[in-house]
Structure 1
Amino acid sequence: MKNLLFLLLFTSYAVYAQPNIGAPADIVVCDQDSNTVDGQAIINLTVNNTLILNGLNPDNYTIAYFATQQEAVDNVNAVVSESNVLLNNGQTIFVRLTDIVQPDNFATESFSIIINTPAILTQLDPFIVYDADGVPDGTVIFDLTQFELDILSPFTIPDVVAFSYYATLNDAENATNPILNPASYALTTQTVFFRVVTAYGCFTIGSYNTTVNGIAPPTGEATQTFTEGNTLADLNVEGENLKWYATPASQDILPLTTLLVNGTTYYVSQTVNGVESARLGVTVNLPLGVSTNKFAGLSYYPNPVKDVFTVSNNNAIDAVRIFNIMGQQVSSKTVNNTNATVDFSALNSGVYFVQLTSGGSQKTIKVVKE
């Protein structure tokens, strides 16, 4: 009788060892489930099931996922759609492994959701390429890679590990049949597709449209000197209906009143019978020694600027003028001091040109307003 009582008591207070739950791995995916990069993604949590079971028989245990540790312990509010759940970057998921026969016998673990961001690309406007090889066949050898910096801006370039090019959208999406020599490609009037892969394995598909025609670009020296205060109108280029641009592919026409900035390359096309040509690049440089004495100790910061732009010079700065990219003066200030501050707070974001005057000499600085 005593032995039976002891057996009953032992059975009533038996303690079961927790299941030997395995450590789940953090789930790392890319935010590529929609056209909006929002730090969210559809996640399949069940990819961790094998690790969680840690060799245990799946017929003997249930696996459930929860948003908090307490919910996992209490076994309430489990995630319903385990293989198709919308989660946020950095979110922690808690998992409960439960013995089917003994539901009070369970163990918990956790893991993180890491959602990486694909490259955000700048869409290039359609552009024209001149067929200058002497064979009017509508094909020109072209360097597809020359626009990569424009396409990636303002994405952090070191995060990008691969740029590949394709003739069709289907090939770009599936990374099949890449163009083998994109720096020397037989380009026709077509759409060029490209695939940008980041260090995290995320990818983005982009494209640009090209037209190959037989209109020659304007003629002129590819490198020209200028004097401070000169504009695009002062450059020596010959052609019909000239149009100036800031980049090889931009569609924003620069006015002839645009101030020239030392070391900058401007691009000019001509339009003949309604057809625009490819563009001639013209790099402008100040002659050596120009404005050297008056601006020998020039310094300025910050660039880009949010509110206040500070300029310092060994010689007194007489005046400061600010021009927008259209060549319009948007601000002016008399200084008569070796130090000057310029207020950018009321200006819209974009590129501006700060023109400094000192003792009859001028110097123009390209400044970006955030």
Structure 2
Amino acid sequence: MKKILLLLLVSTLGYAQPQTATPDDLVTCDDNNDGVATFDLTMNEMQVLGGLNPAEYSITFYETLEGATTGESPIEFPQNYTNLANVDSQTIFIRVEENNVPDNFSVESFAIMVNPAPVLPDNIMVYSCGGVFDLTTAIEETSYTLVFYATLSDALAQVNPIVQPESYTGEGSIYITVTSIDGCNATTEIQLVSGMSLSAEIVSEGDTVTILATGVPALTYQIDNLAPQPSNVFYNISYGEHTIRVTDSCGNIYVITYLVLPAAPAPEPDQTVVEGDTLADVIIYGADIQWYADAEGTIPLSPETVIVAGVTYYATQTIDGYESAAYPYAVSGFAGIDNLNKNTFTAYPNPVTDILTISATTGIDTVEIYNLLGELSLTQQVSESTARINLQGLKNGIYLVKVTGYDNIQSLKIIKM
């Protein structure tokens, strides 16, 4: 009896683990590049069984090794499984269990991966100088495989590709299928543009010049004898007349003569104007300010001209002998008694040599000092009713002092000697 019992124990406990095989990873392409896709995990069932009889084993899928080991919480619908978002590669575990002996099981794993599809730019255009198109220039990414088709139906069916895309002579539009190194692809339309004329216009602001041009790319831009550049923006250009050249890839050249002028001066936005003030009282940033009664600059005005509410005045600045466009300045009304009773500021001595004292009826938060070009030269936090500002580090000249108080902002003009 003992021998029989021993044999019985061996037959019950001494079974061999199922000899399963490691399945391949499942990989798919992400058509909308959201990182999520649907997988049929059961595609790996026959592979994991190896040579085992499918009728004798049950297969379940799990998101964790613990689940596969205990048999708890299997994936409910493995034929339609959505991977976890924001995970480049996710491991799936398979439990292969003997039907007659449930404790006799084996666990294998494989990865599911969602590879991104190529991201193609919108409105792809290929240009031609003489009716012959090099379609291979449509996409700059060199790791892609490019195949071109004359029609969308050919592209979707992947039949009848264009044999010589480097010298295509069609017109209208064609289609391109781009395939990444992961085997994912995307198809889009390409517009063919032939005989595009070259044109350009100039936009400038102070010493910055921007050239807005259309033509067969790639365009190059040149000012005077400076080296041509791919950027259409030039900085720190001297005031005066300049020759501007735009060249397209077909060799066409567009030439413009353009006068670069200083930017118009800009008045201090937070300043109070009272009745009787003159144009000389207006805080305005610029060099060699000139006021006019008209936008064309034909009627000059004296700085002592008394400001009239509702009238527009025009200010220009002149740098290196070149006068800017005019800035229109107008006040709709003057400050009333209530405004004048607010916190007001006094600066003394003026002219000043080293220490400028600023006093207020209530309090001062900050003091900012600008030169006439609008550049911040000095700033100081105060939080008192009197401020002493050391100007020894500033060059002699005229400065604008912007004082911010508890309830208002005021600008003052001082002379540093």
TM bucket (normalised to shorter chain) is 0.5 to 0.7
Q: Aligned-pair RMSD on alpha carbons?
A: 4.0
Please state if 1:18 is matched with 2:2: no
2:25 is the counterpart of 1:59 = no
Pairwise CA distance, 1:202:
1.1
In structure 1, what is the Cα distance between the partners aligned to 2:61 and 2:152? 38
TM-score (norm 2): 0.47
**Cα deviation digits, residues 102-129 of structure 1 (max 9, x gap):** 1111010112222222221111266886
Letter of the 2:214 counterpart: Y
What residue in structure 2 maps to residue 193 of structure 1?
A: 175
CA shift at 1:265, angstroms? 8.1
Query: Matched residues in 1 for 2:218 and 2:230: separation?
Result: 16
**Aligned AA (2:114):** I
> TM-score scaled by structure 1?
0.52
**Distance (Å, rounded) in 1 between the aligned partners of 2:196 and 2:10:** 98
Q: Match for 2:13: what amino acid?
A: A
Mapped partners of 1:96, 1:90: distance in 2: 20
Once the two structures are TM-superposed, the CA of residue 195 in structure 1 deviates from its matched residue by 0.7
Query: Corresponding residue for 2:165?
Result: 182
Report sequence identity in percent: 30
Residues 336-351 of structure 1 mapped to structure 2, 5 A cutoff: none
Q: Say whether 1:117 aligns with 2:116.
A: yes
Deviations 1:215-254 (A, max 9, x none): 773599xxxxxxxx79577xxxxxxxxx71386399xxx9
Instruction: Identify if the C-alpha distance between structure 1 residues 93 and 333 changes in structure 2 by more than 3 Å, giving closer, same or farther.
Output: farther
Report what 1:141 is aligned to: 132
Question: 1:178: Cα distance to partner?
Answer: 0.6
2:230 alignment counterpart:
264
Matches within 5 A, 1:85-234: 85-88=81-84, 89-124=88-123, 140-149=131-140, 157-160=141-144, 162-189=145-172, 191-210=173-192, 217-218=197-198
Residue 106 of structure 2 aligns with an amino acid whose one-letter code is A
How much does 1:97 deviate? 0.6
2:291 corresponding residue in structure 1: none
CA contact (8 A) 1:65 1:93 kept: yes
> Measured at CA, do residues 159 and 44 of structure 1 come closer, stay the same or move farther in structure 2, by a change above 3 Å?
farther
What runs of 5+ residues in structure 1 fail to find an aligned partner? 133-139, 150-156, 221-228, 234-242, 267-277, 285-331, 335-370
Cα drift, residue 3 of structure 1: 4.9
Counterparts in 2 of 1:203 and 1:96: CA distance versus 1, 3 Å? same
Question: Computing the radius of gyration over CA atoms, which structure comes out larger, 1 or 2?
Answer: 2
Shift of 1:281: 5.4
The number of equivalent residue pairs is: 231
Q: 1:45 corresponds to which residue?
A: 41
Counterpart position of 1:30: 29
Distance 1:45 1:21 in 2: 16
- 1:191-227 per-residue CA deviation (whole Å, 9 max, x = no partner) reads 2110111111111111123466xx773599xxxxxxx
State the distance in 2 between where 1:192 and 1:113 align. Answer: 35
The answer to whether the aligner puts 1:245 opposite 2:214 as a matched pair is yes
Contact 2:126-2:138 within 8 A present in 1 as well: no
SS of residue in 2 equivalent to 1:186 = coil
State the alpha-carbon separation in 2 of the partners of residues 115 and 246 from structure 1.
40
CA 109–246 in structure 1, closer or farther in 2 if over 3 Å, else same: farther
Q: Is the 8 A contact 1:188 1:210 kept in 2?
A: yes
Match of 1:77 in 2: 73
CA distance in 1, matches of 2:137, 2:44: 43
**Kindly tell me: are residues 184 and 100 of structure 1, through their superposed partners in 2, closer, same or farther at Cα, counting changes over 3 Å?**
same
